[in-house]
Amino acid sequence: MKLIRVGAAVLNQTPLDWDGNAARIREAIAAAREAGVSILCLPELCITGYGCEDAFHAPETQRMALQLLEELKAETAGMIVSFGLPLLVCGSLYNTACLVVNGNILGFAAKQNLAGDGIHYEQRWFKPFPAGAQYAFHANNGRLYEIGDFVFEVGNVRIGFEICEDAWVADRPGAELASRGVDLILNPSASHFAFGKHEIRKRFVIEGSRAFNVGYVYANLLGNEAGRAIYDGDAMIAQAGKLLVTGPRFSYADWHITHAVVDIDLVRMNRSRSVSFRPNLRELDTNWLGDDFQYPEIQPSSPSLSEFAWESSPCVKEEEFTRAESLALFDYLRKSRSQGFVVSLSGGADSAACSYLVAGLVDFATAEIGREGLLKKLSYIRDLDGATDNKELVHRLLACVYQATRNSGKVTRDAARTIATALGAEYFEFDVDWVVEEYKSLVSTGIGRELDWKADDVALQNIQARARAPGCGC
């Protein structure tokens, strides 16, 4: 048996946070090495961050990305690691994965299918790389690199890439990689969270490993990277149609390593038994980059596939929403260096849910990384270290404001106070009736008649709602 321990690293990165991104990559590689991982897949564009947007076109972004890659390659001694970064080649910018082997850059694979629907706009910054193309070029740091639709043969193990969207299209690159004898496909991703998406990813990871007769490693980004999207930190490893391991989602850690042992000989024998497998013999010995790498001897182990209980809960949608939004608020808070949150608490369901999500981030974070871990991540916030329990932490981070008008009643006022007290939030009551009346007078004067609820119900509700915004923005 040819047994190799492979790993998926999820990272909570920030666009253009060069020092922070590099530090988290170093820590993840070190943890993977300690776990005995030989082949490690890092997420898509992990060096720069995925959400750089038009800053991808800044020359300094390209220079720093390559500089960090050259610095980080030394961390891969005795390992094979894929790094994600943008790469400028012949006037075109590509979304690439660089395979580094034992401290040496072997080459770059580039994304062939760009995400352009929903929140994605990759075509604005990148070009799709043409299937089958290869090119050697001098980068802006003067070094010679190779980029292309390569198979990487490292220590007699063939490695290929599907980069995020590549696995979501009907004509997946994995089919061609399989015909070229690939044993392992790495999928570095920046796939935003959406309800039910975890199950879709699971299907294409498992089905890809079965249909292509390969080992398959999937590694996603984690957290609220830049305010635009939430990443759940999904990590999965499959082999020949069987899911070996999955990682925890919505983690409050900076990084997490998921690893498993892949049996390369088993993968190859499954492929040889497949009636449908047709090797592309003309391509098997061309269009590849190689390195003589020695894998350590490891003992067989039985994979133990387990997921957190909430992943199979009948309320999984509600669980996903709560965990995704709480993590997003936590990351937005610390990355923007805000001092906390203010919620206009009406006593209704929407504002109550928003308030709970702030309390939820405290509970989730302390349960995973402990009180000291949370305080370290929020160390810039004044007087936070004086809180002795979760309710006191919530009290420091969340202020709830009930903003009353003449239309407010005792039921909603009592509900708002009860919710804030239960969560531990700081609680205020403002009388904004005079502000609402001023706006009504302003509009009535402008249109030449008095506003009334029978004819202007929506307008009056909007005035009442918008008049409350300044009080929570102070």
Ordered by start, the domain boundaries in the chain are 3-305, 313-431
Q: How does pLDDT run across 248-293, given as a tens digit for each residue?
A: 999 999 999 999 999 999 999 888 787 677 777 665 556 678 878 9
172-219 residue pLDDT tens: 999 999 999 999 999 999 999 999 999 999 999 999 999 999 999 999
Quote the percentage of the chain above a pLDDT of 70. 96
How much is the average pLDDT of 158-182? 94
Distance CA 135, CA 147 (A): 5
**Residues 64-105 pLDDT 10s:** 999 999 999 999 999 999 999 999 999 999 999 999 999 999
Give the pLDDT band (50/70/90) at residue 472.
low
Say if residues 323 and 364 touch (Cβ distance below 8 Å): yes
Judge contact between 392 and 362, C-beta under 8 A. no
The reported pLDDT for the residue numbered 433 is: 73
Instruction: Report the b/e string of 240-260 with b at 16+ CB within 10 A.
Output: beebbbbbbbbbbbbbbbbbb
Residue 322 has a CB neighbour count (10 Å cut-off) of 19
* Residue 85 near residue 98 (C-beta atoms within 8 A): yes
CATH of domain 313-431: 3.40.50.620
pTM: 0.92
Angle between helices 390-397 and 349-377 (to 10 degrees): 110
Mean pLDDT, the chain, integer: 91
pLDDT-derived band of residue 166, with 50, 70 and 90 as boundaries?
A: very high
Q: SS3 helix, strand, coil % of the chain, rounded to 5? A: 40, 25, 35
3-305 classified as CATH 3.60.110.10 = yes
